Structure 1
Amino acid sequence: MTNKFSNNLEIKEADLFLKKKLFILIIISLIIIFLTTNAAAESKYNWEELIRATQQQLEQNQSNILLNYTLAVAYANTGEIKKAYDIIDVFGSSVSRKEFNTAVSPYLADWENYLDYDNLLLLNYAAFSKVINKNYGEAVSLFEYIFKIDPENLWALNHAAAALVEINEFDKAHNYADQALSMEENEYSHLIKGYAYYENGNYFRAVIEAASARNLFKALASEEYQDFAE
């Protein structure tokens, strides 16, 4: 009787141990799935390293146009939109478009067709230079190509969407912003959607999107739509 009771107890303990082990394995599996599905999308290019290297170079030459532009491009590809815009704003206040193009064009002069290349830094040089020169249609094509060869870089989608807003292609801009949001929640996508809705006269939905991008919206709001930001 004692042996039977002892054997039953051992079986129950072994069963409990297996259940605990199975439970732990399930929890670990769920954590792995959660981390995998919610991991931030990453570009093929090491933009963080470029930021560090460029900042070091700027310590020796703060007024260098290309270095400042490189830092702005790198920030724009890591989601630090406010920092990127702050640098770009300097071009408008202290550097003429001609001076900017003179500094950047030597790096792009040999490119007859951007789409034949896969250098992500130079492609971004080209794309953002199109934005600065207000060639938004060409900028869209370049950002689309950048995303094609760097499909984990959601910021390329956002920048394409922002350029599309400039040429009033709001539906496509919404689609790209939504696609970026499906990859990673971010305020810039909401900001783009909010501004597009606002320009399209859909103020209710604009307010909803602005609420999801409150910090970035306030940081970047221009006088043109400051009343809406308030």
Structure 2
Amino acid sequence: MSIVSSALVVDVIVHSDIVHEFILRVDEFEDYEPGQFLQLTLDQTDASALWPESRTFSIASYNPQEKLIRLIIKKVGSYTIRIFNELVPNTICTVKYAYGDFMLPMFDEEEKIHCIAGGTGIAPFLSFLEYLTMNGKVNRLYIYYSARKESELVHFEDLKRLLPEGHLKTFTTRKTSSTSENRRMLVSDIIPNVNDFTEEHFYVCGSKGLIEKFKDELEEKGAENIYLDEWD
């Protein structure tokens, strides 16, 4: 059952002119699964009212003790422009959560988890990272992450710090970077880390083009456990 709650904007982190991170403290906190998403409206409303115009965003955190929710939002379209302009620290919005089945494998706690992210598609994988770190299972996680430029590799330092050596590969496609490969991400970047395509898990989150490309190529390699989270 979803929860409708007002949310206070605690902080806004500017990663680039079109990518901001919003940290919210919700009044009605309910536990959720890593990888799920919420609906956010700029209106102040409650569960009894007709739900107003809103947008959906993956929850980019998992820390029930803090009772904070992080969202990574790209400015695209009129409503996200309003979010960028109106959601500043100490303002209030309303969220409805949690939804979605883009979640960690329910019945497998051993096989590798490969996460392929384009741009703000990193958001659900940050919640995977927090959850698996908390539960001592981060060795299962591999992240392959592409963005336009280095500043849009959100939480790059946290990813480097928390993931084991060799479990993170990053790419920039528009501007050169000293920390990432300056080219498009390929399925061949994943292959060296895979022992068994039929048993391991492959998550893809990003644009429609990125999802279609990796889905097709992973299927050609024999991958059976492919999970997709598409956004425009």
Q: TM-score, normalised by structure 1?
A: 0.29
Higher strand share: 2
User: Scaled by the length of structure 2, what TM-score is found?
Assistant: 0.29
Which protein is bigger by CA-based radius of gyration?
1
Structure having the larger proportion of residues in helix: 1
Structure with more relative contact order (C-alpha pairs < 8 Å, separation 6 or more)? 2
